[in-house]
Amino acid sequence: MAVAELGHFTKAAKELHIAQPALSISIKKFEQQLGVELFRREERSITLTDEGKVLFEHAKRVLQQIDDAKLAIDELRGLEKGEVRLGAPSMMGSYFFPQVLMAFKSTTLISNLLLLMRALAPFERCF
């Protein structure tokens, strides 16, 4: 991707923090595996071949899908990092919930765990 975007092996190698010969060899091996040339190598520039353009577009979509998957996973994890509000009648809350809540909190990344113990009617306003 970097070579295609920058149009230069040396610049791409610097951006990727690898040696330019190593990058050139890797791309050459990849081209051999695919059985096509991905780049037109000229004096001081390189350009994508038609096959390279096709691969580049597919690679961009794959990378976007990976980013989307990471975002979806982070959103799921965000559910574990949020706030939980739990209401319980006073008697039940004081006897039953402390042990349950401590066990729950020890297995999640909940940042704020709030237990409201009141008569049943006021709960409707709390949530």
Q: What's the DSSP call for residue 39? A: E
Burial class (CB in 10 A: 0-12, 13-18, 19+), 110: middle
Ranges of H-type helices in the chain:
2-6, 9-16, 20-34, 50-81, 90-95, 97-107, 123-126
Residue predicted with more confidence, 126 or 19? 19
What the block records as the tokens of 26 is 């890797």
**Distance separating alpha carbons of residues 81 and 37, to the nearest angstrom:** 48
Q: Residue 76 and residue 33: Cα distance in Å, rounded?
A: 38
CATH number for the region 2-78 comes to: 1.10.10.10
pLDDT value at 27 more than 70: yes
Domain edges within the chain = 2-78, 82-126
Which residues make beta-bridge pairs with 47? 40
Q: What is the pLDDT of residue 49?
A: 96
pLDDT band at 55 (very low <50, low <70, confident <90, very high): very high
Cβ atoms of residues 46 and 12 within 8 Å: no
Please determine, for residue 26, whether its predicted confidence score (pLDDT) is greater than 80.
yes
